[in-house]
Structure 1
Amino acid sequence: MAADPVRDPRPNPRATAEEVRAAYSDPKLANVLYHDWEADTYDEKWSISYDERCITYATDRFRAVAGDAGPYGHALELGCGTGFFLLNLMQGGVIERGSVTDLSPGMVEVALRNAAGLDLPVDGRVADAERIPYDDDTFDLVVGHAVLHHIPDVPAAMREVLRVLKPGGRFVFAGDPTSIGDFYARKLGRLTWWLTTNVTRLGPLNGWRRPQAELDESSRAAALEAVVDLHTFDPSDLERTARAAGATEVRAVTEELSAALFGWPVRTFEAAVPRGKLGFGWAMFAYRTWQRLSWVDENVLAKLLPREVFYNVSVTGRKRAG
């Protein structure tokens, strides 16, 4: 079902300078402008797909924190973006029917378009995670991927999640940054951006430099991205937040250390060179290397190091059954 044109605002992919200035003091407006801006290219930017690669990734992430793989009848995704998490979980048999919400009309539009292209039963609304526009006890499952760190009032959002869940229903939020992980990821990203954009100024490497207009736009997007990224998380604190909202069976898990140390420079490098320059061989190298390092993280480093040093944190819990 398409987004409601009466109740839902339209995407605004080209914000004015005045709107952008206002966004620096309004994180919700910043989220709308930034994600509307990125919506049509977001899947490409983050190498998101709706095939076996991302189906496996999504279902593995879900199972790692939830301990099961459903199926769940009706699921809601908060901060859906382009639908990456929900749609791939549906294709993986974890979810039968879906609803998507996001503050960004552009993201809801793309998520619904992706769902229609995959012939998946999904409806959507432009909505604030702190005021979810669904009745109490509506969903069997609420999910989100890399969304909690964008929400100004995470405790309020958690209370809303538990309100719209059916008794005994589960929530799974995956892919948010830990405090330590965010520190080293940002340092690596900034260093890689600086090196790539300066080295490609040199004559022999000039063909590897993105056009200046695209670099300027990426820089403006990155500046706004600093406004929309509101939180990092300590896993224990995130568990306490969920319990304080009334959740039961709460558990947080972390992942990606060596994979993040490799992945963030790679993603930044890809954003700094012309689109299509690297080709399929590079994409497979990057993906296979990330896979191998993720295996090392899960099977070796996770047994040796505290969970706080890993990059991603995921959290799950349930609404009380009675």
Structure 2
Amino acid sequence: MTASRDDRPHKTGPASGLPGGQEGDPAPRPHASAEEVEAARSDTKLAQVLYHDWEAETYDDKWSISYDERCIDYARGRFDAVAGGEKLPYGRALELGCGTGFFLLNLMQGGVAATGSVTDLSPGMVKVALRNAENLGLDVDGRVADAETIPYDDDTFDLVVGHAVLHHIPDVEQSLREVLRVLKPGGRFVFAGEPTTVGNFYARWLGRLTWETTTRATRLPFLADWRKSQTELDESSRAAALEAVVDLHTFDPAELENIARAAGAVGVQAKTEEFAAALLGWPVRTFEAAVPAEKLGWGWAKFAFNGWKSLSWVDDKVLKHVVPRGFFYNVMITGVKPNN
């Protein structure tokens, strides 16, 4: 029996504020007050909305996201690492917890899917993802939606993807059941960028150490022009407080595989990546967030990217053969909906 999930096409409406968004979708709320942050501490889904709405307009810059060859290759590399060899393109794909559309839009440009749909609990993220898709000339619609109750009918998609989303979802198994419901029989899901338990531990400590060192050092008079305004630092601190609420899970790769199988998936496989690369990447990203963007030019961006790329090569060619997979920072997982 097909579940009715309001599978109407999106229309732009004055209440939504989303280009191509569903009429009646909530508008983005980009600036959380201290009172809202406090309320969100006991309401994880409110926290998800406030935090990701706050990040939406600057998220691509913060994480050095682009929609060119660099990130197309990155997204396609993650996909191929767990689902390589598939006949491409898939017809219609859904990105769950789309953020700014980074994963799906770059996969579409890389030939993985012909058309797409994006969903996120954050209206701000859906707005930016649809704008990015429009700028790229891609056939994409979008909705503000909860990953535990996906608003599409059964057997709708050939592929469901997500990047750094599962760790935000309260009930991961329920969400994967929904993913399998909206997939066509034989359809595949691919999720990447999820934190492992061990990797998250060392990444958090590296991030905190870098933030404290940078913000203390930039109090020195001769480094004053490297210091962000106190308003920006305070807003970053409020965002960090929300981040502690929205990051709900870390994963042991084997346990994540078991969750996917319990949801009903077959052909389940998890792989991990980024050990040495994460030891560089987290201090680099934190430093970038702690100083004015104009202080970091092309030379810095080249250093950061080439450093990550070189250490990723070391991870892939050397360390994955000697380091347990649970010690790597990112876990990727794929599975298939059984054929009827």
Give TM-score, length-normalised by structure 1: 0.98
| Counterparts of 1:16 and 1:187, CA distance in 2 | 27
Query: What secondary structure sits across from 1:128 in the alignment?
Result: coil
Partner deviation per Cα, 1:18-54 (whole Å, 9 max, x = no partner): 3222110011110001001111011011100000000
Cα deviation for residue 212 of structure 1 reads: 1.3
Aligned residues: 321
Paired letter, 1:261: L
Pairing partner for 2:175 from 157, 167, 170 = 157
Q: How does 1:234-253 map to 2 (within 5 A)?
A: 234-253=252-271
Distance of 2:33 and 2:216 partners within structure 1: 29
Task: Say whether 1:210 aligns with 2:228.
Answer: yes
Q: Which amino acid aligns with 2:165?
A: V
Q: Which residue number in structure 1 is paired with residue 71 of structure 2? A: 54
Gaps of 5+ in 2: 1-9, 11-19
From 18, 21, 35, the counterpart of 1:18: 35
Q: Which ranges of 4 or more aligned residues in structure 1 deviate by more than 4 Å?
A: none
Match of 1:310 in 2: 328
1:236 is displaced (CA, Å) by 0.2
Give the drift of 1:17: 3.1
Does the alignment pair 1:36 with 2:61?
A: no
Alpha-carbon deviation of 1:247? 0.2
Contact 2:192–2:330 (8 Å) recurs in 1 = yes
Contact map agreement 2:60 2:66 (CA 8 A) in 1? yes
CA distance in 2 between partners of 1:261 and 1:123 (Å): 37
The residue that corresponds to 2:95 in the other structure is 77
Give me the whole-angstrom Cα distance separating, in 1, the residues matched to 2:228 and 2:46: 29
The Cα of 1:180 is off from its aligned counterpart by 0.1
Between the aligned partners of 1:265 and 1:234, the Cα distance in structure 2 is 23
Q: Secondary structure at the match of 1:88?
A: helix
Q: Does 1:220 align with 2:233?
A: no
- 1:65 corresponds, among 82, 85, 95, to 82
Q: Aligned equivalents of 1:33 and 1:5: distance in 2?
A: 21
User: Which structure 1 segments of 5+ residues have no match?
Assistant: none
For 1:258 and 1:310, the matched residues in 2 are separated by: 8
Residue pairs, 1:153-302, within 5 angstroms: 153-302=171-320
Letter in 2 for 1:250: V
- What letter corresponds to residue 309 of structure 1 in structure 2? F
Cα drift, residue 208 of structure 1:
1.1
State the identity as a percent.
73
Q: What is the CA–CA distance in structure 1 between the aligned matches of 2:180 and 2:139, rounded to whole Å?
A: 23
Q: Is the 8 A contact 2:37 2:238 kept in 1?
A: no
Shift, 1:5, TM fit: 2.2
Please state how far the C-alpha of 1:204 moved relative to its aligned partner: 1.4
Structure 2: how far apart are the matches of 1:54 and 1:184?
Answer: 25
Q: How does 1:124-163 map to 2 (within 5 A)?
A: 124-163=142-181
Moved more, 144-153 or 214-223: 214-223
